[in-house]
């Protein structure tokens, strides 16, 4: 039987492997620092486990790249982290951060599994998905145990099955608005929570950034995240539902360099991309017009912020170029 792993990598397989490798190098740097600073002995094993899985992932991908004569991405190295710097985030926030990273890992690996074909690449992304689920379980269970896990809001259980009979179900600007659905509540809650975590992370990054342009970019992101937290929290509160807690107090007062500006910019860019995806899903899942329009109005603002971040990274030579299709016109000219 033919060895199916000898088939060339598709564009999708290249893309997912390249992105995963960059992300694992970032995870390795960040978690190396967290491990050096952790004080909570219940959090320590989770950081160690996450660090080990990142190393194993990188090793598997390096073998795949070498087999394909594919240049191994640089990503991030020990030059991008200072493990001896003072503690920047509380252990409670680190746990919440790891839980959020597990959600992103599950989403990315699920997307990859829908497009990759070669058996060895499929097996690798199944591994990444399994790791994401396991990290989610580890962080959730410990947060529940320590009393720091914030559940989404409770609503009443329906009395019976119903069908929409009037166009008023879609209304949101004029006349009486219907109550939010459980799906709309879920997305509002998620987007408050992700913006709160993002704001805390960006605030910490703003304190330790070395370049003034990067520092100002972080300040702008902090203000934007707070604005979005306020918008979504207000929508929940108007429905007599609770909004998730803020994580501002999870940051220490250190200003010493912890991560390189290159790592900081890439990390924030990755979170912006995830945020745009969250808003897109929320908009599609929110039939009430005012909610859909609210998400739609915020996406251009985040997209512009992302573009400005990419320009900063290009300016300083920090943006590693992903694999690209051949430029046939250029090849013909040459």
Same domain, 138 and 214: no
Q: Which residue has the tokens 């920090």?
A: 318
Query: Both tokens of residue 210?
Result: 């070395």
Residue 168 is assigned to a structural domain of this protein: no
CA 212, distance to chain mean position in Å, is: 25
Average pLDDT (133-153) is 94
Same domain, 139 and 235: no
Same domain, 182 and 285: yes
Average pLDDT (23-40) is 97
CA distance 121 to 18: 12
Task: Identify the weakest region by mean pLDDT among 129-143, 238-252, 274-288.
Answer: 238-252
* SS3 at position 159: coil
In this structure, are residues 14 and 323 in contact, taking their beta carbons and an 8 Å threshold?
Answer: yes
pLDDT for residue 199 is more than 90: yes
Same domain, 142 and 13: yes
pLDDT for residue 175 is more than 90: no
pLDDT band at 172 (very low <50, low <70, confident <90, very high): low
Q: Count the residues in the chain.
A: 334
Residue 92 is assigned to a structural domain of this protein: yes
| Residue 70 vs residue 5, higher pLDDT | 70
Residue 320 is assigned to a structural domain of this protein: no
Same domain, 142 and 187: no
pLDDT the model gives residue 156: 83
pLDDT for residue 142 is more than 70: yes
Same domain, 35 and 96: yes
pLDDT for residue 1 is more than 50: no
* SS3 at position 286: coil
Q: What angle do CA 270, 274, 279 make, to 5 degrees?
A: 145
Average pLDDT (268-273) is 94
Residue 62 is assigned to a structural domain of this protein: yes
* SS3 at position 117: coil
Same domain, 130 and 214: no
pLDDT band at 243 (very low <50, low <70, confident <90, very high): confident
Average pLDDT (39-49) is 97
State residue 141 phi and psi, 5-degree precision: -60, -40
Return the axis-axis angle of helices 261-284 and 91-113, rounded to nearest 10°.
Answer: 60
Same domain, 192 and 249: yes
Q: What percent of the chain is modeled with pLDDT above 90?
A: 77
| Residue 248 vs residue 299, higher pLDDT | 299
Per the DSSP assignment, residues forming a β-bridge with 89 are 251
In this structure, are residues 167 and 179 in contact, taking their beta carbons and an 8 Å threshold?
Answer: no
- Tell me the average pLDDT of the chain: 91
Residue 287's CATH number: 1.20.1260.10
Number of domains in the chain: 2
pLDDT the model gives residue 242: 87
Query: Both tokens of residue 37?
Result: 């600073």
Residue 166 is assigned to a structural domain of this protein: no
Average pLDDT (113-131) is 96
Q: Which residue has the tokens 């007062």?
A: 253
CA distance 172 to 290: 5
Question: DSSP readout, 161-229?
Answer: -----SGGGG--SSSPPPPPPHHHHHHHHHHHHHHHHHHHHHHHHHHH--SHHHHHHHHHHHHHHHHHH
Last residue of a domain, one of 146, 168, 196: 146
Last residue of a domain, one of 123, 146, 169: 146
Residue 328 is assigned to a structural domain of this protein: no
CA distance 222 to 298: 15
**DSSP classification of residue 331:** H
Dihedral (CA of 272, 274, 280, 281) sign: negative
pLDDT the model gives residue 17: 97
CA distance 113 to 90: 35
> Which positions ≥6 away from 194 have C-beta within 8 Å?
100, 274, 275, 278
pLDDT for residue 173 is more than 60: no
* Among 5, 61, 37, 17, residue whose Cα is nearest residue 259: 37
In this structure, are residues 138 and 46 in contact, taking their beta carbons and an 8 Å threshold?
Answer: yes
Same domain, 117 and 230: no
Same domain, 210 and 267: yes
pLDDT in tens, 296-325: 999 999 999 999 999 999 999 999 998 887
Same domain, 135 and 38: yes
Query: Both tokens of residue 46?
Result: 């989770």
Residue range of the domain that includes 205: 178-315
pLDDT the model gives residue 245: 74
Long-range contacts of 143-150 (CB under 8 A, 24+ apart): 143/95, 143/96, 143/99, 145/42, 146/42, 146/92, 146/95, 148/92, 148/95, 148/96, 150/193, 150/244, 150/245
Same domain, 112 and 195: no
Average pLDDT (114-118) is 95
Residue 30 is assigned to a structural domain of this protein: yes
Average pLDDT (160-185) is 71
* SS3 at position 136: helix
pLDDT for residue 3 is more than 90: no
pLDDT for residue 77 is more than 80: yes
CA 87, distance to chain mean position in Å, is: 22
pLDDT in tens, 259-269: 999 999 999 99
pLDDT for residue 98 is more than 90: yes
State residue 104 phi and psi, 5-degree precision: -65, -40
CA distance 79 to 68: 27
pTM for the whole structure: 0.91
Residue 186 is assigned to a structural domain of this protein: yes
């Amino acid at each position: 039987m033919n060895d199916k792993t000898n088939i060339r990598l598709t564009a999708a397989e290249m893309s997912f492997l390249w992105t995963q490798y960059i992300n694992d190098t970032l995870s390795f740097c960040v978690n190396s620092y967290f491990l050096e600073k952790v004080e909570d002995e219940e959090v320590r094993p989770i950081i160690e486990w996450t660090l080990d899985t990142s190393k194993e992932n990188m090793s598997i991908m390096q073998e795949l790249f070498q087999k394909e004569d594919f240049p191994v991405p640089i990503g991030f190295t020990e030059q991008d982290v200072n493990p001896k710097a003072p503690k920047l985030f509380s252990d409670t926030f680190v746990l919440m951060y790891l839980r959020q990273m597990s959600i992103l890992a599950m989403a990315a690996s699920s997307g990859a599994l829908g497009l990759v074909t070669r058996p060895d690449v499929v097996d690798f992304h199944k591994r990444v998905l399994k790791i994401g689920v396991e990290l989610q379980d580890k962080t959730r269970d410990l947060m529940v145990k320590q009393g720091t896990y914030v559940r989404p809001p409770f609503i009443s259980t329906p009395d019976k099955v119903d069908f929409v009979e009037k166009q008023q179900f879609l209304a949101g600007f004029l006349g009486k608005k219907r109550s939010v659905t459980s799906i709309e509540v879920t997305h509002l809650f998620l987007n408050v929570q992700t913006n709160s975590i993002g704001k805390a992370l960006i605030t910490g990054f703003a304190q330790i950034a070395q370049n003034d342009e990067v520092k100002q970019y972080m300040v702008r992101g902090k203000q934007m995240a707070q604005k979005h937290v306020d918008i979504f929290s207000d929508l929940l509160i108007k429905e007599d539902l609770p909004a998730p807690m803020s994580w501002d107090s999870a940051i220490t007062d250190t200003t010493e360099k912890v991560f390189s500006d290159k790592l900081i910019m890439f990390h924030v860019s990755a979170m912006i991309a995830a945020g745009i995806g969250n808003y897109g899903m929320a908009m599609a899942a929110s039939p009430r017009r005012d909610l859909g329009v609210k998400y739609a109005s915020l996406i251009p603002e985040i997209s512009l912020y992302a573009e400005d971040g990419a320009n900063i990274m290009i300016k300083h030579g920090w943006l590693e170029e992903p694999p690209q299709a051949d430029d046939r016109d250029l090849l013909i000219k040459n």
